[in-house]
Amino acid sequence: MPTDSSWVYAPAPEDSSHVEIKKHYQLFIDGKFRDAADGRTFDTQNPANEAHLSEVAFSGEADVDTAVKAARRAYNEVWCPMRPADRGKYLYRIARILQERSREFAVTESLDGGKPIKESRDIDIPLAAAHFFYYAGWADKLDYAFPGRSPSSLGVAGQIIPWNFPLLMAAWKIAPALACGNTVVLKPAETTPLTAMKLAEVFQEAGLPAGVVNILPGDGSTGAALVQHPDIDKIAFTGSTEVGKRIQQAIAGTAKKATLELGGKAANIILDDAPLHQAVEGIINGIFFNQGHVCCAGSRLLVQEGVYDSVVTLLKDRMETLRVGDPLDKNTDIGAINSKAQQDIIQGYLELGEKEGAEIHQPNCTLPSKGYWCLPTLFLNATQSHRIVQEEIFGPVLAVQTFRTPDEAIEMANNTPYGLSAGVWTDKGSRIFNFTKRLRAGVVWANTYNQFDPSSPFGGFKESGFGREGGLHGLEPYLRLD
């Protein structure tokens, strides 16, 4: 909460009384909820106050095997033979139920993961529904998507998702897989299983045939068992580059197809002719949105020398007015860090940045006493060789550097192991084209940042992974094209 009283807003908490969070959630296998074969469970908590939310069944190897068998049966007997237009009808139904239950999903997402309600309400949940709507439309039009080819489904997809956009990542993965005629075994992240379990309820409500989607909460060992299961045809993974590499090793020499969406270290580039107020607002959104828990976060800022002082002044002023606190408050800009483990990672980088010689700046603001938090942070005078410039921090931390010429900016932007996204801010269209052509990044936003749409493909270069999700491109990884 900013200490300047002119900026203190009255609390405006979102009503959560309509949301039922069960004491215990079970695995979703073959259309039914059941406990883990060995009875194991784990707890999920609210990172904003460390309160226990629910106990969740933990999937072991035996459960992975049961789920993959159910998915195979559903693939052979029901989903693959079904008329594509009928598959589309199920996807439309899922999308509509998500819209009907959107408030409940938004509150659950904010409780379990710590993100501000204005983001889960306005971005995560509507976009998740939009993905189901979008891919529902493709289900019976695959022949038109790939003219002259004969698209056919792959079989069973194993999908592993992270904790930063739990429901949205589930939708990104499940919707195109089903539209293309595959069945799914999905593993949500260990700190944010709840919206995936509610999504299983939506599948039941939609009458989705048993076994078409199976949901297995658990941890890395569950994910690894899924990756190694011999009857999986395709792996889709979003998460850390480290685990992405491990998955590649595990499937080497098998016929399993894979798409990996990994880390990022995006540069947001402000040229001296940019509209500065607009640019600063975009930079703030690019790195502080969702506490910087975003693989495409604009975590580096490159500013052309002539406007550096003005940009830094504007940034610091704007940071003073950001509201950090209760994720369920509608005025909150920055919520809780997703877990203690992630908070420790970020804290380690804050100490490292100062040790490396960058100048740290944080706004004058107090944090709640319980829960996991990080103040929005600038590192000024960062240099290209600093680890805070090279490595993904996955927190609300922005490293600021300067450049003289556009060529220099492009070289600096491209000089990390990653290549997921970038942003460019300038008044001139020709400069935008120069940058978008030469930046080695899967997505380049111009005079805006963090804009998503189901029709637009997303994915990385270099160590940010391979394959695309979203749009027409997002169908390809789930199809055989003869």
Question: Of ligand NAI, Mg ion, none, which one does residue 59 interact with (CB within 5 to 8 Å by kind)?
Answer: none
Q: Check residue 443 for interaction with ligand NAI (CB under 6 A).
A: no
Tell me, yes or no, if 261 is annotated catalytic.
yes
**Residues in 17-76 that interact with Mg ion by CB under 5 A:** 44
> Mask 141-160, x = binds ligand NAI (CB under 6 A)?
-------------------x
Q: Check residue 392 for interaction with ligand NAI (CB under 6 A).
A: yes
**Residues in 31-60 that interact with ligand NAI by CB under 6 A:** none
Question: Of ligand NAI, Mg ion, none, which one does residue 44 interact with (CB within 5 to 8 Å by kind)?
Answer: Mg ion
Catalytic residue among 295, 296, 365, 374: 295
Q: Rounded to the nearest whole angstrom, what is the least distance from the CB of residue 242 to ligand NAI in the complex?
A: 7
Instruction: Please identify which residue in the block is written with the tokens 């052509």.
Output: 437
Residue nearest to ligand NAI (CB): 223
Q: Rounded to the nearest whole angstrom, what is the least distance from the CB of residue 188 to ligand NAI in the complex?
A: 7
- Given the complex with Mg ion, which of 327 and 353 has the nearer CB atom? 327
- Choices 100-108, 177-185, 242-250, 265-273; region in contact with ligand NAI by CB under 6 A: 242-250
Question: Of Mg ion, ligand NAI, none, which one does residue 190 interact with (CB within 5 to 8 Å by kind)?
Answer: ligand NAI
Q: Rounded to the nearest whole angstrom, what is the least distance from the CB of residue 240 to ligand NAI in the complex?
A: 3
Out of 67, 247, 303, 334, the only residue in the binding site for ligand NAI (CB under 6 A) is 247
Tell me, yes or no, if 365 is annotated catalytic.
no
- Choices 238-246, 368-376, 406-414, 474-482; region in contact with ligand NAI by CB under 6 A: 238-246
What is the binding site for Mg ion (CB under 5 A)? Answer: 44, 112, 191
Annotated catalytic residues are 261, 295
